[in-house]
Amino acid sequence: MIFTYSHNTQRIMKNLILIRHAKSSWDAPLIDKDRPLSKRGISDAHLVASEVEEYLPKSYIVWSSTAQRAKNTAYIFAENLSIPLETITFKDDLYTFDEKALENVIKSCDNQFDNLILFGHNGAITNFVNIFGNRAVENVPTAGFVSLSFDENDWKDITKGTTETLLFPSDLKKYDPPLTGKPVH
């Protein structure tokens, strides 16, 4: 989105989409970084990915943590949104649970890109959303999608932005409480 001011300067908005990795499996004795998605995680990632296209900008870059669960979530979104896998950039720095470290990675984004989609981890995502968004979020759940916009030209200058979209798996599931209470999506 381009805003034009009366003194003929273009103002470009930065848009950030944060997606928390889907639910991971604890079944195998693996180190944290190697844990895959659980069946529910795979299902939830497909569910959310199938509903987010209308909230995405026309062009964007995609970054993901190098943790297996984040990479798998990014692959599922890529499949659903026709994002070429080779365009996803995997960054070790995104394997963080700290919002300040996440902020530093986001602020390192090249300013030629106005739209960034990022797959990462909690506490970092929920805390970042609460610091940089304008809507309190108790918890960004697994496979949760949050879109923020910033009225800035430079990623390094982002501060308080606008929480544009919150989309969580629970928003998309239909339940059958009178019978089983289980999702029927």
CATH number at 75 reads 3.40.50.1240
Looking at residue 131, the DSSP 8-state letter turns out to be: H
**Residue position matching structure tokens 């993901």:** 64
Domain range for residue 151?
13-172
* Of 102, 106, 137, 122, residue with least CA distance to 32: 122
Using H for helix, E for strand and C for coil, what is the string for 50-82?
Answer: CCCHHHCCCCCEEEEECCHHHHHHHHHHHHHHC
**Structure confidence at residue 133 as a pLDDT band (50, 70, 90):** very high
pLDDT tens per residue across span 34-71? 999 999 999 999 999 999 999 999 999 999 999 999 99
Domain assignment present for residue 75? The answer is yes
What SS3 class is residue 15? strand
179 pLDDT above the threshold of 60: no
Share of the chain above pLDDT 90, in %: 83
Amino acid letter, residue 165: T
What contacts 168, CB < 8 A, 6 or more positions away?
Answer: 48, 140, 141, 143, 144, 145
pTM as predicted? 0.88
- Structural domains in the chain (count): 1
Cβ neighbours, 10 Å, residue 70: 27
Question: CA-CA distance, 50 to 127, in Å (whole number)?
Answer: 26
